[in-house]
């Protein structure tokens, strides 16, 4: 069975400081992992994905995430937060890939607030 736990429902940082959003997953198979972002009243946008290639994954807007199988973690980081990063972030897991990607399992989300 698949599941995702986002360890913080809210994270607040000052502009220019690092961002860390934590995610742990549970999967019976070698998973595909994603981070999606949702800005207020906007749709879900893919930030980055891990699909069994390099364990350090770089995404859009300076975000990156590291897949750690031993810790079953996929934490999202950014060296320097920007005001425009304020949004809700979802960690997502799927068992499949490509044509068998299948359904996604979402974490409950982390609301990121960025203070000026």
Residues of the shown chain interacting with another protein in the complex, contacts defined by CB under 8 A? 32, 34, 36, 42-46, 49, 51, 90, 97-99, 101-109
Q: Which residues pair with 6 in a beta bridge?
A: 23
Least separation in angstroms between residue 43's CB and another protein is: 4
- Whether the Cβ atoms of residue 108 and residue 6 lie closer than 8 Å to each other: yes
3-state secondary structure at position 3: strand
Nearest residue (CB) to another protein, 11 versus 90: 90
> How many CB atoms within 10 Å of residue 7?
15
Least separation in angstroms between residue 14's CB and another protein is: 28
Distance of CA 12 to the CA centre of its chain: 16
Least separation in angstroms between residue 72's CB and another protein is: 20
Give the C-alpha separation, 82 to 25, whole Å: 27
Least separation in angstroms between residue 66's CB and another protein is: 18
Nearest residue (CB) to another protein, 81 versus 92: 92
Nearest residue (CB) to another protein, 33 versus 81: 33
């Amino acid at each position: 069975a698949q599941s995702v736990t986002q360890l913080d429902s809210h994270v607040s940082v000052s502009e220019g400081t690092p961002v860390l959003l934590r995610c742990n997953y549970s999967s019976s198979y070698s998973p595909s992992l994603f981070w999606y972002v949702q800005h207020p009243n906007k749709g879900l946008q893919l930030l980055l994905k891990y699909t069994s290639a390099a364990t350090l994954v770089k995404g859009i807007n300076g975000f990156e995430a590291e897949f750690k199988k031993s810790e079953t973690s996929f934490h999202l980081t950014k060296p320097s937060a920007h005001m425009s990063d304020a949004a809700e972030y979802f960690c997502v897991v799927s068992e499949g890939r490509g044509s068998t990607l299948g359904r996604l399992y979402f974490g409950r989300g982390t609301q990121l607030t960025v203070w000026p």
